């Protein structure tokens, strides 16, 4: 089974996964601090996509490389960097080494990078252990691997709607286990694998931010197939599930379906050090 490509999400990825103003910069600062980075630190990001994580680091001038299986996603990043260069003619144009490729077969020599970073991507790679092996191969002997994720601090209708959808799929006879790719990586599994490879690990929760979402937005994230987990479901089953989900969520929330819910989210890093 191959990794999931986000080609189909190119047009809406930043709108549905992007950070509120200022948060991406705080996340970038947290990554720099966690890595102990200097101006000369060489970064590699697995699954760089549209640069949701990378952009603030690239424009700060860090030597940055990124690999992704989706050329259209990286084209969005190139466009952002080009626009930044036009808007800041007094600064050197931001540079990044962007390559189309597979994170389980990195096209870089051993010990090429001081930091290897992955954010919310290993669960999309069936052979995630091979991706970690490659990350460690291209790290310097004293390098740092960082695995990041956005987590909910407070739960709301987003989780409720998702659980409702899973229950509907089960009633329709669909095996919800198929929503996870073979070999799906959990946070604990990644941590345990890195420790088994001899790395010392710790967890950092450096950034939190407020956000809001309406129940309708949570519903449409599924029914409009914006969520990658919806992509693997056969169209007939998905259509039936979306119809039932719409009916149940509409009945559950009634006239509150467009009322925003205040929530809090956090950026979490699992840090692993070679040579520690």
Q: Read off the pLDDT of residues 84-93 as tens digits, 9 standing for 90 and up.
A: 999 999 999 9
Could you tell me if 163 and 252 are in contact, meaning their C-beta atoms sit under 8 angstroms apart? Answer: no
Quote the percentage of the chain above a pLDDT of 90: 81
**Measured between alpha carbons, how far is 161 from 220 in angstroms, rounded to an integer?**
10
Closest by CA position to 173, among listed 126, 119, 103, 237: 237
Rounded to the nearest 10 degrees, the angle between the axes of helix 235-253 and helix 157-171 is: 130
Q: Read off the pLDDT of residues 97-155 as tens digits, 9 standing for 90 and up.
A: 999 999 999 999 999 999 999 999 998 888 999 999 999 999 999 999 999 999 988 88
**Measured between alpha carbons, how far is 171 from 230 in angstroms, rounded to an integer?**
16
DSSP 175-208: -GGGGSPTT---HHHHHHHHHHTT-EEEEEEEEE
Number of H helices and number of E strands within the chain? 9, 7
Of all helices (H) and strands (E), which one includes residue 261?
strand 261-273
| Residue 126 φ/ψ, nearest 5 degrees | -55, -45
Q: pTM higher than 0.75 for the full model?
A: yes
CA 246 to chain centre: 27
Q: Read off the pLDDT of residues 156-202 as tens digits, 9 standing for 90 and up.
A: 898 999 999 999 999 999 987 766 545 567 889 999 999 999 999 99
Give the CATH fold of the 7-152+181-210+264-273 domain.
Answer: Rossmann fold (3.40.50)
Annotate 39-98 with three-state secondary structure: CCCCEEEECCCCCCCHHHHHHCCCCEEEEECCHHHHHHHHHHHHHHHHHCCCCCCCCCEE
Closest by CA position to 147, among listed 273, 7, 13: 273
The pLDDT, as a whole number, for residue 232 is 85
**Measured between alpha carbons, how far is 129 from 194 in angstroms, rounded to an integer?**
9
Q: Read off the pLDDT of residues 189-203 as tens digits, 9 standing for 90 and up.
A: 999 999 999 999 999
Least confident of 170-179, 221-230, 236-245: 170-179
Reduced to 3 states (helix: H, G, I; strand: E, B; else coil), residue 137 is helix
Closest by CA position to 258, among listed 216, 218, 221, 223: 216
Of all helices (H) and strands (E), which one includes residue 231?
none
């Amino acid at each position: 089974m191959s990794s999931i490509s986000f080609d189909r999400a190119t047009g809406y990825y930043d709108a549905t996964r992007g950070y509120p103003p200022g948060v991406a910069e705080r996340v970038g600062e947290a990554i720099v601090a966690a890595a102990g980075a200097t101006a000369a630190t060489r970064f590699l990001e697995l699954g760089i996509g549209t640069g949701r994580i990378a952009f603030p680091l690239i424009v700060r001038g860090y030597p940055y490389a990124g690999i992704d299986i989706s050329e259209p996603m990286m084209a969005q990043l190139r466009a952002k960097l080009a626009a930044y260069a036009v808007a800041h003619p007094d600064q050197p144009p931001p540079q990044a080494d962007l390559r189309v490729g597979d994170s389980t077969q990195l096209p870089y020599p051993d010990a090429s990078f001081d930091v290897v970073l992955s954010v919310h991507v290993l669960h999309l790679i069936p052979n995630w252990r091979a991706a970690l092996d490659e990350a460690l191969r291209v790290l310097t002997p004293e390098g740092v691997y960082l695995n990041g994720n956005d987590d909910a601090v407070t739960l709301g209708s987003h989780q409720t709607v998702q659980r409702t959808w899973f229950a509907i799929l089960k009633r329709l006879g669909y095996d919800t286990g198929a929503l996870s790719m073979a070999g799906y990586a959990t946070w604990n599994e990644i941590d345990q694998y890195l420790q088994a490879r001899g790395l010392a690990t710790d967890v950092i929760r450096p950034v939190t931010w407020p956000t809001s979402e309406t129940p309708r937005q949570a519903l449409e994230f599924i029914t409009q197939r914006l969520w990658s987990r919806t992509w693997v479901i056969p169209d007939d089953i998905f259509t039936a599930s979306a119809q039932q989900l719409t009916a149940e969520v509409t009945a559950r929330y009634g006239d509150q379906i467009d009322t925003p819910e205040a929530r809090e989210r956090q950026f979490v890093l699992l840090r692993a050090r070679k040579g520690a």
